[in-house]
Amino acid sequence: MKPLWSAWTRWLDREVDPRPLALVRIALPLCVLADLARLAQLGLLWDVFTPYAEGGLNRIESPHAVVWEWFGPNGPWVAFSTTVLCMALIMIGRWMRPAIVVGVLAYAQLGHVFPPGDRAIDRLIRTALLILLFSGADGAFAWGRKRLASVPAWPEHFLRLFLVLVYTSAGIAKLIQQPEWFSLTADPPLLRILIDPMASTLDPDFWAQFPVLFRVLGIATILLEVSSILLLTRWGPLWAIGGVLMHLGIWASMSLGMFSPGMLALYPVVLAPVLGRTLFRPAPSRRLG
């Protein structure tokens, strides 16, 4: 038992270049900030974060929206300002840990205030930020800090495990609920998803002429999702090329806001071995850190 325990602690002691984790630390809050900025640009902040009784959009109340009790009608604005401030701090790498705790709590409150607009990607970003809380993600590209030579590797593995769970769940759910994903004759489900005008930007009349294309892409999507366990192996970067292509395809064909950029924000840890050999070589000067 002792050799096993020693091997386990040695594995946990392994260290990696902090830059892939730092890129995730920068990209995730950037997505949140860009998303909230877009909401402000459209002039929708008031409509989204005001109760229905006072002229807002949402009638679905979450019992966990405690900001109303704590700060009254200003609650959502306190949550909004706190989220923006904390995301900015996480991004620049200052007071990262307290900023993640407070920022995730405030961001969660924004979700409770307006549940219809709080989607899977918001939950994914919050979960990923909570994983970063225990990482050395502020060991590089952090304002006023020198870059560390290395940080513990386990948060990188944890983020990869999280991605595996997300993709595998998505793949299995598709197969359980809709066997037509593997049918060679039925109407391809991917075609239905990608020509639904409410979520997609593709012209239904034009693209419906190519069912075979969507059948092949649909099968490729399922195979990619259920094979995501490869992310935990040395084949991870290779798998990630498929993942990147899938998310770029979704980004180009659907109007899902920050879904694709939010998912891609986690990819630096998947592509860490490739980044280590290419982008991060030769080692940058200290000024970068």
Partner 1 sequence: MKTLRATLVPLAAFALIWLAMPGASFVPKGYLSTPQARAAHQQRWGEPWTSLNVSAGILQRIREPIIAPIRGIQPVFRVAQSWHLYRDGPRPIRRMEVWVDTALVYRTGDPEYDWREGVFRNRRIRPMAESLVVRKKARNRLGIGRLIVQLATQDFPDASRVEIRSVWARRGKTPAVHHSMTATGPDWALEDSP
- Sorted by sequence, the CB contacts under 8 Å of residue 41 that are 6+ apart come out as none
- Sorted by sequence, the CB contacts under 8 Å of residue 97 that are 6+ apart come out as 133
Under rule CB under 8 A, residue 15 binds partner 1: no
Query: If you count them, how many residues does the chain have?
Result: 289
Q: Which residue has the tokens 């679905």?
A: 60
Distance between CA atoms of residues 272 and 264, nearest Å: 13
Distance between CA atoms of residues 199 and 163, nearest Å: 23
Closest CB to partner 1 among residues 94, 119: 119
Binder among 23, 108, 140, 275 for partner 1 (CB under 8 A) = 108
Instruction: Specify the stretch interacting with partner 1 by CB under 8 A; choose among 24-32, 37-45, 75-83, 138-146.
Output: 37-45
Under rule CB under 8 A, residue 183 binds partner 1: no
| 137-169 per-residue burial string, b: 16 or more CB within 10 A, e: under 16 | bbbbbbeeeebbeebbbbbbbbbbebbbebbbe
Under rule CB under 8 A, residue 48 binds partner 1: yes
Closest CB to partner 1 among residues 59, 281: 59
Query: Which residues inside 229-268 make contact with partner 1, applying CB under 8 A?
Result: 255-259
Binder among 33, 193, 217, 274 for partner 1 (CB under 8 A) = 193
Q: Tell me how far, at minimum, the Cβ of 93 lies from partner 1, in Å.
A: 22
Under rule CB under 8 A, residue 120 binds partner 1: yes
Instruction: Specify the stretch interacting with partner 1 by CB under 8 A; choose among 40-48, 70-78, 233-241, 279-287.
Output: 40-48
Binder among 33, 85, 208, 217 for partner 1 (CB under 8 A) = 208
Which amino acid appears at position 242 of this protein?
G
Quick check: helix, strand or coil at residue 258? coil
- Residue pair 127/162 in contact by the 8 Å Cβ criterion: yes
Under rule CB under 8 A, residue 210 binds partner 1: no
Instruction: Specify the stretch interacting with partner 1 by CB under 8 A; choose among 50-58, 75-83, 141-149, 230-238.
Output: 50-58
The site that binds partner 1 (CB under 8 A) totals a number of residues, namely 78
